[in-house]
Structure 1
Amino acid sequence: MAPREGIKDDGALYRLNRFSSLQPHPERLDVSFFVGGPVWAMEWCPTPEGSAAPQYVAVSCHRSMEETHSVSGLHSGPALLQIWDLGMLHTEQGKASLAYAIAADYGCVWDMKFCPSGAWEPPTAARTMSRLGLLAAAFSDGRVVVYALPHPGALQHAKTTQVQCIATLQVGSIQAGNASECGQCFSLSWMPSKPHHHLAAGFYDGTVAVWNLLTKSLLQCVPQPDASLKLYPFRCFLAHDHAVRSIEWCKADSNFLVTVGSDRKIKFWDLRRLYEPINSIKRFLSTEVAWLLPYNGITVAQDNCYAPYGLCGIHYIDAGYLGFKAYFVAPRKGTVWSISGSDWLNTVAAGDITGELVAAVLPDLAVNPLNVKRSSDRRFPVYKADLLPCSPDGPEHTEQVLPRTHCYSEMVARSYIRFQDTDLRSFQNFPSREPMRRMHNQELKAELSLDRLQMEALHKVRFSPNLDSQGWLVSGGQAGIVRAHCLAGLASAVGHQLLPECQARFSVLYGDTPSSPGPPEHSLLPVE
């Protein structure tokens, strides 16, 4: 059920089967599809600027709604990496469909990251399996696997149905074997500057490992019988006293890295001098960070277990060079599980345990952020998910309370999720509109019940990094429903001017040579 602002609600309920999607709304462009389990890893596939290519999202979820995983110790088991096709978002209405999926036996996936650029090839390339992108996935058995994802059409016409695993990244050495003492891998970050040859990962014991994907060293690179590579890191350091929950590279200078850990510390690192961090801040338990291109600091999402009343939510924290105090971006009553930033829109979005997806336009923080006025007007809701009780006879026979149970089958039989979507095509008179009033009320007196399954919780939020789909935002959580929304009201004239120029440049590079050869079959990364 998805009532939309400004459109009369017909009250209809929808039941989604696994790997199926709803028809997108003809005016609001939102897309919804069901992946089968709680979403804990999700990422957009990068495409060249102006390519006019279909947009893809990689998603990984748990096998069942009630599956739990211990963060201590390694564990393996079946996992499924799903590649979803959202269509040509820049020219037409999106329609989600499952392109293909990759089966693995390395346990659940905690994080996924695509190579930022250069890995995409035209579908008509001369290679048999033209490449859609390079995807690195962090598994609960401690390994990181890099896959070369083909275009769906190339996979259908190929003689094999197996997606190539290019490299397996492990901590340790050749003498250490396969056992990892670092524990599970929870977070990944791909080097943002070309040729993207470094990949960093954070582990359960607080270790950060950095691999060189182009290394030829016999001590770091071991060829495998299936023609893939096993890589060992060229740099490891103990960043935290507990698990590294998020890691992010600075886009402006690849010498700098930020890590956040379960020891409640946020640390900024210069990779040229790792004997101590540039800055170490201990405030609250952070869950994820976003480092936007023009900023000297990070935007942090936090768990509310250590936060004083009134300070829980989303903060901007300076790296330490300017000495600014933290800027309070948005208050939240529950744990903020995920945060993502858009360099095109200068905006961050965050999803929390209460089921609300909010976005905030960041101010110019080149001046002291304490001088920024009316920060409450900079944030707005994208949608709110509510879990409502109902009887098997339908929503009109409403009961008074939700079932107090963590059993998924009981929750499905006696409740449903209602998504209240904001009209994001325009922000005219926005402070007085109903979604804004609802968001401010939620900030003051949100109710959180922990004695039931949090079906409405949002675990992962991701802005599209692509110019062709700038403004699109995907989100998913405990219910296994992934939704894509377009923040059309934030579109700028600069983006509209850039797109035709980039499309003309792309057509010059690829349009006249549809069969231009890509990188050699054996190369891990493209030659820039």
Structure 2
Amino acid sequence: MARSLRARNSVTNYAALLDIGDEDDAARPGPSKLPGDDDPGSDFAPGGDAPSDAEQDESLEMKLISDLSTPAPSHRPKGKGKTKTPKEPLAADLAAFERPSHRQMYTLPQPSVNHRHKAVPIFRHSSSTERLTRAPRLFGENATVSTNAYTSSQPVTERLNRALGYNVAAGPLWELIEDRGWFKEGDWAVDHPGTEASRRPRVYSDVPIYAQWSTLTATQAAPYLPTELTPDDGIPKDSSVTCDFGPFDQQQTVTLRPFETLHMSRLFPSSKSYVFNAGAPVWALDWCPIYAKDRSTFSFQQFLAVAPLPSTSHSPDVGARTNRPAPACIQLWALGPAKPGPEDDDTGSLRCQLVLCIDTGSALDLKWCPLPSHDASGTSTTSLKRLGLLAGTFEDGSVSIWSIPHPNDVQREDHGKPAYVHLGEPAIRLEIEGTSCWSLDWGNSEVIAVGCTNGAVAVYDIADALRSGQPVHDLLPSHYQYVHQSGVRAVSWVRAPPASSSGEFRTDVDPTVIASGGHDGTECLWDIRDPGANVMNRTRDVIPSMPWSPYAGGPVTIDHENAVKAYSISPSMMGRGHLLLEPAGPVWSASASEYHPQLAVGSADGSCIIANMLRSSRRGGMVPFFQHRLFQLDYSRTDGRLRMLDHLRPGETPDRANMAQRAVRARVAAAPPPSGTGAWPSNIAVTRVAWGSGSIAAAPLLASATASGLCRIDWLEGRWLRDRVPYGGIEGIRLEGGRSMDVDDEEESD
């Protein structure tokens, strides 16, 4: 009996689908690709208000996507005949298949170039919140009223998203500052007024956390301070920094010694900025949160922790542990009123109040407990009062959590100079065998996530260890998962409550989702209840920072060619990135706030750039998509002097559409990208940026650090487009007092 063979199925012929099967171009190599999205702001499904001039392009691209998803015929076309399809539009679209590179990978199909990015709230809660009734006062009490929160209703959500996009300045709009952070320790009852004190309560105030402090003299503390050595004989030299400040044609040369400050109002009368010298490159800094009801007892001071390296020439060896003791320091800078009593025109004063001497090596990352953890004002104690809980990753490969003393309680030799305190054993030291801890983030006051140099992410529950009152050095992680193939450079919690089986949000439990980025170029989301992580995006670059933004609805991360993008983690938007800005150099750090949508980015080219994440991405809108360059740091190799430029004109994000899309859309050619160099001196990089946290009044504060040792604190304010508030005012935006939705502006139609 003859053997019968199984019928062979036909192979999909993509050349026939695309009408490129003639003799001239039938041998075109390479895999077939769907057209990429070259409009960086068009990553979401088209809305009903898409511009009418692009409807023809949209239908053309939808037809192409539909054709690609249709099964191929079971036979090849005979002869040299071609499928009759429109020639000219298809030729323009085929250029997208020949692009040499893609800016975004793992993206979902993007059928239209007119998609609009709209921030989607991760969870909805109908409780009230607070808003300011006047411009915030950093050194005084602020008046607030109860108002409808961002997620109180869908109309309020839409109006707030639109109104926040009308900010054309670098700082936040004080009228719309709102605390969108979530912590399980807060009161989330529906009938609760949602005050700042209830959303961010004081934690561990009645718990004696282990602390080992001892004061040092300036001579004893000298080995812990940054020291610059001469290259020839290795003799310590002065760590002073010489820099030119002021207007471009009227700059003044200023030399700052370590711990010295410069108030920029000396050069710009209206400036509220400070510059200070930390003595060496700074890799970590963070703001300390203060309980809302205790700010007056702290004299309305704001505290900033700054961690410099031992010297300018020091380079941390990632993954290699430094043997203890390894002298290093953490500086505590205090920004407070210059005069006693609240005054609106008080520009404040800045000085280093405390130097913490440690033996764990330099800090690679620093994070205060996100909730106030200081002692209550009326607490009686025999030892120094606690300012807060400070966690960090250090060169010895550990995560150490210290109880930090209040600077005002530390005795000092000279009140004009900082006090020196040696920190002994930390309250908690976390070490993992075979790897080093590199990055960390607090989920709340009880759980932390740690990124390791071997690609793993560990989760620790530290509440019981802190309450024990004894040093804990053998705590095991509750979760440990290999997420990346190399070191985890950035890790952040998605601070959103998990949902129960019935769909209700559990605001009384810990968060479960972690966003991380590593040296393998992947950006991942890991639900600790899931045995595996999900790759959100992949890029051929290092991911140095990945902050979580409740305003953008997801993490902010780095993509190809130094692009900074926001990714939504909403199920309907998963994997779709929205381009925010493109610095000229590699990104070192990015910071997003829980109080406003302004994003700050520090770059290797010496620039600190700020952009609004909620500016509408639709082409042709009336609001320009500004990139505000807060300052630019340059270096002269000839005389070894730095130059800091301020008050620079903002620029717009360039249109990166390719030539094929311009031909289809009949657009004029985009302006060429700005010219520049691809190499910069290492000492001008802006290594770290951090927005003010823990307070509505401190939301406009921005701290930044550079590789030269110069650090900066800025007070930034927002501005409405044309100085006009949409929807008839703040009450109309938030629909307060039963306001109807009949208020309409010409801005709403844009």
Q: Is the 8 A contact 1:82 1:100 kept in 2?
A: yes
* CA apart distance, 1:49: 3.1
Residue 93, structure 1, aligned to residue 347, structure 2: yes
Which blocks of at least 5 consecutive residues in structure 2 are unaligned? Answer: 1-242, 414-418, 498-510, 655-670, 731-750
- Matched with 1:276 is 532
- Matched with 1:398 is none
* CA apart distance, 1:171: 3.6
Structure 1 222/205 Cα, relative in aligned 2: closer, same or farther at 3 Å?
Answer: farther
| Equivalent residues in 2 for 1:184-333, closer than 5 Å | 185-192=437-444, 196-215=445-464, 227-230=470-473, 231-253=475-497, 254-273=511-530, 275-285=531-541, 286-301=543-558, 307=560, 311-319=561-569, 321-323=571-573, 325-333=576-584
Q: Is the 8 A contact 1:362 1:378 kept in 2?
A: no
Deviations 1:207-241 (A, max 9, x none): 1111111236xxxx9989xx422233222111111
- Matched with 1:515 is none
**CA–CA separation in structure 2 for the residues paired with 1:118 and 1:469:** 14
Q: Is the 8 A contact 2:548 2:555 kept in 1?
A: yes
User: TM-score, normalised on structure 2?
Assistant: 0.53
Deviates more, 1:125-134 or 1:469-478: 125-134
* CA apart distance, 1:279: 4.3
Partner residue of 1:181 out of 431, 434, 445: 434
Instruction: Find the residue that maps to 2:520 and give its secondary structure.
Output: coil
Q: Is the 8 A contact 2:358 2:423 kept in 1?
A: no
Instruction: Find the residue that maps to 1:467 and give its secondary structure.
Output: coil
**CA–CA separation in structure 2 for the residues paired with 1:370 and 1:326:** 14
**CA–CA separation in structure 2 for the residues paired with 1:479 and 1:122:** 38
Q: What letter is aligned with 2:683?
A: M
Q: Is the 8 A contact 1:363 1:372 kept in 2?
A: no
Structure 1 439/276 Cα, relative in aligned 2: closer, same or farther at 3 Å?
Answer: closer
Residue 69, structure 1, aligned to residue 316, structure 2: yes
Structure 1 438/250 Cα, relative in aligned 2: closer, same or farther at 3 Å?
Answer: closer
* CA apart distance, 1:464: 0.5
Q: Is the 8 A contact 1:148 1:164 kept in 2?
A: no
**CA–CA separation in structure 1 for the residues paired with 2:358 and 2:705:** 21
Partner residue of 2:641 out of 398, 413, 416: 416
Partner residue of 1:144 out of 364, 375, 399: 399
Residue 334, structure 1, aligned to residue 585, structure 2: yes
Residue 449, structure 1, aligned to residue 679, structure 2: yes
Instruction: Find the residue that maps to 2:253 and give its secondary structure.
Output: coil
Deviations 1:12-33 (A, max 9, x none): 2001111111134152110011
- Matched with 2:698 is 469
Q: What letter is aligned with 1:121?
A: D
- Matched with 1:113 is 367
Instruction: Find the residue that maps to 1:449 and give its secondary structure.
Output: coil
**CA–CA separation in structure 1 for the residues paired with 2:595 and 2:620:** 21
Q: Is the 8 A contact 1:36 1:61 kept in 2?
A: yes
Q: What letter is aligned with 2:386?
A: R
* CA apart distance, 1:166: 4.5
Partner residue of 1:168 out of 424, 428, 435: 428
Asked which structure has the greater CA Rg, the reply is: 2
Partner residue of 1:380 out of 616, 623, 628: 628
- Matched with 1:33 is 276
**CA–CA separation in structure 2 for the residues paired with 1:462 and 1:418:** 22
Deviations 1:294-337 (A, max 9, x none): 433211145xxxx3xxx432111223612362111101221110
| Equivalent residues in 2 for 1:467-506, closer than 5 Å | 467-489=696-718
Instruction: Find the residue that maps to 2:632 and give its secondary structure.
Output: strand
Q: What letter is aligned with 1:228?
A: P
Q: Is the 8 A contact 2:552 2:614 kept in 1?
A: no
Instruction: Find the residue that maps to 1:287 and give its secondary structure.
Output: coil
* CA apart distance, 1:384: 1.2
**CA–CA separation in structure 2 for the residues paired with 1:207 and 1:139:** 17
**CA–CA separation in structure 2 for the residues paired with 1:351 and 1:119:** 29
Structure 1 479/442 Cα, relative in aligned 2: closer, same or farther at 3 Å?
Answer: farther
- Matched with 2:601 is 350
Give the superposed CA RMSD.
Answer: 3.2
**CA–CA separation in structure 1 for the residues paired with 2:388 and 2:672:** 40
**CA–CA separation in structure 1 for the residues paired with 2:396 and 2:711:** 26
Structure 1 106/442 Cα, relative in aligned 2: closer, same or farther at 3 Å?
Answer: farther
Structure 1 447/252 Cα, relative in aligned 2: closer, same or farther at 3 Å?
Answer: same
Q: What letter is aligned with 2:556?
A: T
- Matched with 1:153 is 408
Instruction: Find the residue that maps to 1:215 and give its secondary structure.
Output: helix
Deviations 1:149-180 (A, max 9, x none): 121112239999544755233244xxxxxxx3
Instruction: Find the residue that maps to 2:306 and give its secondary structure.
Output: strand
Deviations 1:164-208 (A, max 9, x none): 755233244xxxxxxx3122x22110013xxx2011111100111
Aligned length: 428
Instruction: Find the residue that maps to 2:463 and give its secondary structure.
Output: coil
- Matched with 2:195 is none
Instruction: Find the residue that maps to 2:458 and give its secondary structure.
Output: strand
- Matched with 1:23 is 263
Structure 1 313/2 Cα, relative in aligned 2: closer, same or farther at 3 Å?
Answer: farther
Deviations 1:38-62 (A, max 9, x none): 1101111111236242001101111
Q: Is the 8 A contact 1:78 1:104 kept in 2?
A: yes
Q: What letter is aligned with 2:706?
A: G
Q: What letter is aligned with 1:74?
A: R
Q: Larger % of strand: which?
A: 1
- Matched with 2:291 is 48
Q: Is the 8 A contact 2:283 2:688 kept in 1?
A: yes
Structure 1 378/72 Cα, relative in aligned 2: closer, same or farther at 3 Å?
Answer: same
**CA–CA separation in structure 1 for the residues paired with 2:692 and 2:476:** 31
Q: What letter is aligned with 2:335?
A: L
Q: Is the 8 A contact 1:459 1:477 kept in 2?
A: yes
Q: Is the 8 A contact 2:322 2:395 kept in 1?
A: yes
**CA–CA separation in structure 1 for the residues paired with 2:446 and 2:588:** 29
Q: Is the 8 A contact 2:364 2:395 kept in 1?
A: yes
Structure 1 351/361 Cα, relative in aligned 2: closer, same or farther at 3 Å?
Answer: same
Q: Is the 8 A contact 1:380 1:439 kept in 2?
A: no
Instruction: Find the residue that maps to 1:107 and give its secondary structure.
Output: coil
Structure 1 442/132 Cα, relative in aligned 2: closer, same or farther at 3 Å?
Answer: farther
**CA–CA separation in structure 1 for the residues paired with 2:467 and 2:552:** 39
Q: Is the 8 A contact 2:354 2:421 kept in 1?
A: no
**CA–CA separation in structure 2 for the residues paired with 1:282 and 1:437:** 28
**CA–CA separation in structure 2 for the residues paired with 1:66 and 1:463:** 28
Which blocks of at least 5 consecutive residues in structure 1 are unaligned? Answer: 173-179, 390-401, 404-413, 423-433, 495-528
Percent same amino acid at aligned positions? 21
Q: What letter is aligned with 2:334?
A: D
User: TM-score, normalised on structure 1?
Assistant: 0.74
**CA–CA separation in structure 2 for the residues paired with 1:467 and 1:166:** 31
Deviations 1:252-280 (A, max 9, x none): 2311110111111111111222x122443
